Chain A
């Protein structure tokens, strides 16, 4: 068990809808990262937060947004969903810094129909 909790595990929704994915990092970890895993794109970095502040943005669409709350949990909001947004969304956390590994949750599988 990595200590990173993601909810829900599965999400099925229709095109055009909006969903929220939730992540609780490991105790003591200040950094939260969001990744998207799809068959054709592999693991793509979306966004990173560190202690409540956005630290880096990757290939995140404008329809997607995220935030990290004072208790350090994070939410990824996906809106105006398209079929191509169907993927596994992973949250990872770390204490921060170059040497620390990322610890991943089990992911949320999003299916857009």
Chain B
């Protein structure tokens, strides 16, 4: 079965520092991976996706993600964090064996301190 894991419940980083939010995946076949962000009292917003091609994927709001097949990881990164990046981040994998629904990780809360 397809699954993703987010090993950190919370990540704290100072404003201006680089940030990384970790995600590992377990899939049969080629992975279709996504990152979403959720701000308080809002729905999930799509940040970026990896389907195939370059291992470094660029997305919205200056975020990027690095796909690593050997480590089965898809970590979300940003070179310089902003206080406004503080939110809940979800990694997701497409369940291509069953349907095209997304299976989400448990989420990582990012806190950026001024």
Contact of A107 among B34, B43, B96, B103 (CB under 8 A): B43
- Residue-wise, chain A 16-45 has the 8 Å CB interface mask toward B (1 for contact) of 000000000000000101010000001101
- Most-contacted residue by chain A among B34, B36, B45, B46 (CB, 10 A): B46
Q: Is A96's CB within 8 Å of the partner chain B? A: yes
- Residue-wise, chain A 83-96 has the 8 Å CB interface mask toward B (1 for contact) of 00000001010101
Chain A minimum-CB-distance residue to B47? A101
Contact A99 B49 (CB under 8 A): yes
Number of A interface residues at 8 Å Cβ cutoff, please give it: 27
Chain B minimum-CB-distance residue to A104? B43
Chain A minimum-CB-distance residue to B51? A99
Contact A106 B100 (CB under 8 A): no
Q: Is B99's CB within 8 Å of the partner chain A? A: yes
Interface of B (DSSP majority class)? loop
Interface size class of B (residues with CB under 8 A): 20 to 34
Contact B101 A56 (CB under 8 A): yes
Q: Is B89's CB within 8 Å of the partner chain A? A: no
CB distance from B95 to the nearest CB of A (A): 8
**Cβ-closest 5 pairs across A and B:** A104-B43, A56-B99, A43-B104, A101-B46, A104-B44
Q: B residues bordering A, Cβ < 8 Å?
A: 32, 34, 36, 41-46, 49, 51, 90, 94, 96, 98-107
Q: A residues bordering B, Cβ < 8 Å?
A: 2, 4, 31, 33, 35, 42-43, 45, 48, 55-56, 58, 90, 92, 94, 96-107
